[in-house]
Amino acid sequence: MGHYVPHTEADIEEMLAFVGLDSLEDLFMVVPEALRLAGGLDLAPGLSEFEVLDEVQRLADANLACSSDLVCFAGGGAYDHEIPSAVWRTAMRSEFVTAYTPYQPEVAQGVLQALFEYQTTIARLTGLEVANASLYDGATACVEAINLAVAATGRSTVWVSGGVHPNWRATLRTYAAGTGHRLVDQPLDDGVTRWPADGGGGEGPGAVLVQYPNYLGCLEDLAEARQVADRHGALLLVAFDPVAAGVLRTPGSLGADVVVGEGQPFGTPLSFGGPYLGLFSVRSEHVRRIPGRLVGETLDVEGRRAYVTTLRTREQDIRREKASSNICTNQTLIAVCCAIQLSWLGTSGLREVALRSARATRATREAVLAIDGVEATASAPTLREFAIQLPLAGEAVVERMAEEGFLAGVPLGDEYGGGLLVAATERRTASEIDAYAAALEKVIR
């Protein structure tokens, strides 16, 4: 028997007799003989826990980690922020980790209240009234925003800023093959989106999607994007950065109808890209189109405050083929991490993370732009990330900088003219920044 099966041989005999079978093989009599796997799975036999840990440790050691091997100056949607012990030590309590979706609210108040608090903090960060209980990641949150906007406006053309993360745009295109939505990329000009003055031919957009700050780290003009959306009666969808939200105006106050984002910077390690956290919030007029789970406050039979998943008739298990989203399992545990981290930061700490990241980014920017042969990709203002052009390909710089102990940044694709995207968080110090600039100067020489 496997490690985690509790039965003794006596248990099995007793149970087989109880159900009227002679052997374990008889349990599978309903499986046609021809379909039964002869000889078992071609997998190695099971290992002890300790051998498994040796093997995964071997694999973990074959990576360069930003904790010990490399000092991280990479961002591009995945950021190296501090995570206090209180976050994982608390969120990783097994009551949170090993619970299912809160289908029985009377025994799930812990997860439900944590999600209610999470929804409140995300609504405040985005400046909108309602946030859901999480989606998979920033990319799929953009997909859901577009699906909501198309359903709300009845128009399936969507203008997508070229400043939206390229992997997210690739994800949008993949999902659009099923929905049939027409995605029109709008190029950047000196770091910010150049929106068409007219309808661009054909049906006007039902939605306009812009990232703030955008992939190159530049601050887009949301007031202008709002005007563009208004010209076409479109919804304004903004993919925001929750860290930058510590010092920037909220997208909601600048006119966004739907705000999405990647929640990884608050409480989730880099994790090679997942599990991350899709942030999603809307103006209250769109609440009945919100995808995924939504927790609401209510009362129990004795009049005590209680929490429950609500507006359930939107969801796939009830609405089936008429549901506007198919999401069921989401990223609840990551949302709990985010809620704890945001409460650990509080009002002043959120601002500190944003300011300290911005200071480190400015110092890094000034240091690397002073190097001969390094130039800024765009002149638009940046906050916590910036793009540079180098005499070498971005990929080559990243490889060479690893030998100097740095993850130098994220190489940029041809649509941005190549180069490197560089980010610095509140973890980066003056001495690390000086060493980074010195190493960069050395490797491109």
Distance, in Å, from the CA atom of 393 to the CA atom of 396, rounded to the nearest integer, reads 5
Indicate which single residue of 99, 376, 392, 435 sits in contact with other proteins (rule: CB under 8 A): 99
Give me the least distance between CB of 406 and other proteins, in Å please.
11
Q: Is the dihedral of CA 266, 237, 412, 419 positive or negative?
A: negative
3 state DSSP class of 283: coil
Rounded to an integer, what is the distance from CA 241 to the centroid of its chain?
A: 10
Asked if residues 362 and 382 have their Cβ atoms less than 8 Å apart, the reply is: no
Distance, in Å, from the CA atom of 351 to the CA atom of 348, rounded to the nearest integer, reads 5
CA dihedral defined by 241, 243, 247, 249, rounded to 10 degrees? 30
Distance, in Å, from the CA atom of 9 to the CA atom of 11, rounded to the nearest integer, reads 5
Q: Is 72 in the site for other proteins (CB under 8 A)?
A: yes
Q: Give the per-residue contact string, 210-249, with other proteins (x = CB under 8 A; - = no).
A: ---------x---x---------------------xxxxx
Q: Which of residues 375-394 bind other proteins (CB under 8 A)?
A: 381, 383
Q: Is 171 in the site for other proteins (CB under 8 A)?
A: yes
Distance, in Å, from the CA atom of 369 to the CA atom of 367, rounded to the nearest integer, reads 6
Q: Which of residues 394-433 bind other proteins (CB under 8 A)?
A: 395, 398-399, 402, 407, 410-411, 426-431, 433
Indicate which single residue of 187, 196, 199, 275 sits in contact with other proteins (rule: CB under 8 A): 275
Specify which residues 239 forms β-bridges with.
Answer: 211, 260
Give me the least distance between CB of 203 and other proteins, in Å please.
18
Q: Give the per-residue contact string, 177-216, with other proteins (x = CB under 8 A; - = no).
A: xxxx------------------------------------
Give me the least distance between CB of 361 and other proteins, in Å please.
9
Among residues 113 and 389, whose Cβ is nearest to other proteins? 113
Distance, in Å, from the CA atom of 136 to the CA atom of 57, rounded to the nearest integer, reads 27
Per CB under 8 A, the segment of 95-103, 156-164, 199-207, 230-238 that binds other proteins is 95-103
Q: Which of residues 336-365 bind other proteins (CB under 8 A)?
A: 336, 339-340, 342-353, 355-356, 358-360, 362-363
Q: Is 117 in the site for other proteins (CB under 8 A)?
A: yes
Per CB under 8 A, the segment of 98-106, 156-164, 191-199, 226-234 that binds other proteins is 98-106
Q: Is 18 in the site for other proteins (CB under 8 A)?
A: yes
Question: What letter represents residue 219's amino acid?
Answer: L
Among residues 352 and 441, whose Cβ is nearest to other proteins? 352
Per CB under 8 A, the segment of 26-34, 188-196, 202-210, 370-378 that binds other proteins is 26-34
Specify which residues 163 forms β-bridges with.
Answer: none
Distance, in Å, from the CA atom of 408 to the CA atom of 410, rounded to the nearest integer, reads 7
Per CB under 8 A, the segment of 154-162, 163-171, 187-195, 367-375 that binds other proteins is 163-171
Indicate which single residue of 196, 199, 273, 417 sits in contact with other proteins (rule: CB under 8 A): 273
Give me the least distance between CB of 199 and other proteins, in Å please.
26
Q: Spell out a b/e string for 359-390, using b for 16 or more CB atoms within 10 Å of the CB, else e.
A: ebbbbbbebbeebeebebbbebebbbbbbbbb
Q: Which of residues 142-161 bind other proteins (CB under 8 A)?
A: 147
- For other proteins (CB under 8 A), the number of binding residues is 214
| HSE-CB of 12 using CA atoms within 13 angstroms | 12
Contacts of 197 (CB under 8 A, 6+ apart): none
DSSP one-letter code for 213: S
Q: What are phi and psi of 213, to 5 degrees?
A: -65, 160
Q: State the residue for tokens 């997210």.
A: 168
Q: Give the per-residue contact string, 293-322, with other proteins (x = CB under 8 A; - = no).
A: xxxxxxxxxx-xxxxx-xxx--xxxxxxxx
Distances in Å between the alpha carbon of 264 and those of 76, 90, 270, 286, 401? 12, 17, 8, 25, 25
Give me the least distance between CB of 308 and other proteins, in Å please.
5
Q: Give the per-residue contact string, 246-265, with other proteins (x = CB under 8 A; - = no).
A: xxxxx-----------x---
3 state DSSP class of 416: helix
Per CB under 8 A, the segment of 51-59, 156-164, 203-211, 437-445 that binds other proteins is 51-59
